[in-house]
Structure 1
Amino acid sequence: MGVAIRAAGEGDRELIVRLLDDAFQDDPVSGWVFPGAADRRAKHPALMAAFTDIVLAAGRIDVTEDGSACALWLPVPAEGHGEGDAGDDEGPAQVREAVDPDNERIEAIGRLTAAVHPVGRAHEYLWMIGVAPGRQGEGLGTALIEAVLDRCDREGLPAYLEASSARSRALYERLGFELAGPVLDLPDGPAMWPMWREPRPHLPA
């Protein structure tokens, strides 16, 4: 497919935030966190900025050269979540305070996903992947994910994510992810599917 991918840096922050904001405006989980369309348009970018900052500091963001898609990855050690400020006891509350102190769901989503996150084995955590709405369906997300899964296979590392829609769940299943435990049903909201992928044997070229 020949999708050019590079690691994002601090200079790409605004690009990544805009990309994630556009990609997730209609996502079921974003709609649950910000139920009102006007409220979501106003405050959703700040949540995406908080996530971007956490991953720039503690993980890796891959972006296509044309800026149309990005993937946020965090390395998770065997002994803990490794999610930086988002994964510790105070992280979800700090994100809520920074984004919208009156919105309890910002904190709830962080705590609920942390509660179902597998522990005990080091792995790569795909926190978010966003593709510009006009570029979806072109295989950009698959290319971003496969680039990291290839490395996981070489290094013998599992990978983990939470699918936020049935469409994304189907994509991840095609890439070798399987359901990992019970479905996470958000209170009065949509489902999220914890998914795990064991590394595949790496065959030398």
Structure 2
Amino acid sequence: MGVAIRAADEGDRELVVRLLDEAFQGDPVSGWVFPGEEYRRATHHRLMAAFTGIVLDEGWIDVTEDGSACALWLSVPAAEHESEQDAADEGPAQLRAAVDPGNERVELIARLTAEIHPAGRAHEYLWMIGVAPERQGEGIGSALVQHVLDRCDREGLPAYLEASSARSRALYERLGFQLTGRPLDLPNGPQMWPMWREPRG
């Protein structure tokens, strides 16, 4: 499938936040972090805005030319310095304070996913991918991810993500990702699946 893709910039911030907010309203993990449809609709976008800001600053965001989908990526180095790890320890609490101070699950999800993130090897981390609800199932998400996986294959880089639904897990398996370790069982909530892909070729 031919999908025109470009790198997002600051001018795309609102588009990315809207895409992520709409795409994840029905996601099991988003439903756990923000239980109740009314609460989620009022608050969820703040977390997506925080994620967008972090990745615009520290990674990159691919968007389709037609504005129907986006993918947030971070390049993770082979090893972190201690000062970087200290900052990572503070990050979840800062995220909660900025997004929804009374919601401990905002901080907890950040801590739990950080704990299961593989260490040691440099890799590309697919933080999130959002496709407009009316465009889901057309192969746009696969094309967005494959765009980066092709480069990973050329450069010999693995890739990592956490799937937040059975549907997305199946998509990522088709793209060559495999479950690494055990699924993450969120307290009184759904599972997340840490997935790793070795470069091909």
Same fold (TM over 0.5): yes
Shift of 1:88: 0.1
Correspondence list, 1:13-24, <5 A: 13-24=13-24
**TM-score, with normalisation over the residues of structure 1?**
0.94
Correspondence list, 1:6-155, <5 A: 6-80=6-80, 88-155=88-155
Which residue number in structure 2 is paired with residue 196 of structure 1?
196
4+ residue runs over 2 A deviation: none
Cα RMSD of the aligned pairs, angstroms, is 1.3
- Listed one character per residue, the Cα deviations across residues 48-95 of structure 1 (whole Å, up to 9, x for unaligned) are 0000000000001000001100000000001139xx89x701111111
**3-state SS of the aligned residue for 2:189?**
coil
- Listed one character per residue, the Cα deviations across residues 136-163 of structure 1 (whole Å, up to 9, x for unaligned) are 0000000000000000000000000000
Q: Distance in 2 between matches of 1:2 and 1:176?
A: 20
Q: Distance in 2 between matches of 1:43 and 1:199?
A: 37
Shift of 1:36: 1.4
For structure 2, the 5+ residue unaligned runs are none
Q: How many residues align?
A: 198
For structure 1, the 5+ residue unaligned runs are none
**TM-score, with normalisation over the residues of structure 2?**
0.96
**Identity over aligned pairs, percent:** 78
